[in-house]
Amino acid sequence: KTDRQREAVFAAIENVAARLAEAKPYLTELDSAIGDADHGSNMDRGFETVVEKIEEERDSDIDDIIKAVGVALISEVGGAAGPLYGGSIMHASDQLSEGLTPESTVAFGEAYLEKLTDRGGASVGDKTMVDAVTPAVHTYKKSIENDDLPAQEALAKAVDAARRGVEFTVPLRANKGRASYLGWRSVGHKDPGAASTLLILEAILESAED
């Protein structure tokens, strides 16, 4: 079982890296509008490094593989998003010590969101990745705990919630990060970090479906 989960985790991470590589021009465009145009290259380079680094974790437990993802992102990606993604993944990886279960993945999501908001100090409505992560985590938890959906269906619901979260950032004025320097001029654009969060969730769902 562990072997199968490990293979699934590697496949998902590789798919995330491939999707982010494809989306590099898109994320660059989003970050050009309200930032410094590096979010596409930050995420692409970050996950390229992740894919290299996790080769050393071929026989590791799931939590250690995920921890290595976080460490690689922190070490490779500067700026705001690298430490926020990396630190939150690293912190939340502890929840996966028993492997992937509906309960452990809910706990992972909650720990990820907690660390993200602790570190970055952003709340829903500040036009950051928090606007995609929050509805995704809450929807995933509710789908598992209240609606008893299988994990994959819960994840599909979470992806839909994240997609609405990304759209929700468009009319907002940014209150955190570089985009906040623009004040009202940040209105009318998607937040790049919310968009990359959605891409990552879509890639994980896509590999869970095959």
Residue numbers 71-110 binding Mg ion by CB under 5 A: 79
Does 200 interact with ligand ADP (rule: CB under 6 A)? no
**Which is it for the CA torsion 46, 52, 58, 60, positive or negative?**
negative
Residue 120 vs residues 78, 116, 129, 152: alpha-carbon distances, Å:
14, 6, 10, 29
Contact 64, 57 (CB under 8 A): yes
Number of residues interacting with Mg ion: please give it, by CB under 5 A. 6
Contact 143, 149 (CB under 8 A): yes
Number of residues interacting with ligand ADP: please give it, by CB under 6 A. 23
| Choices 99-107, 137-145, 146-154, 192-200; region in contact with ligand ADP by CB under 6 A | 192-200
Residue numbers 46-85 binding ligand ADP by CB under 6 A: 79-81, 84
Residue among 100, 133, 95 nearest 111 (CA): 95
Residue numbers 84-103 binding ligand ADP by CB under 6 A: 84
Does 129 interact with ligand ADP (rule: CB under 6 A)? yes
154 binds, among Mg ion, ligand ADP, none (CB under 5 to 8 A by kind): none
Please count the other Cβ atoms lying within 10 Å of the Cβ belonging to residue 4.
9
Q: Vertex 96, ends 95 and 99: CA angle to 5°?
A: 150
194 binds, among Mg ion, ligand ADP, none (CB under 5 to 8 A by kind): ligand ADP
Size of the chain in residues: 210
Q: Vertex 75, ends 69 and 76: CA angle to 5°?
A: 85
| Choices 38-46, 51-59, 104-112, 149-157; region in contact with ligand ADP by CB under 6 A | 38-46
Q: Which residues here bind ligand ADP, judged by CB under 6 A?
A: 31, 35-36, 38-39, 42, 79-81, 84, 120-122, 128-130, 176-178, 191-194
Q: Which residues here bind Mg ion, judged by CB under 5 A?
A: 31, 35-36, 38-39, 79
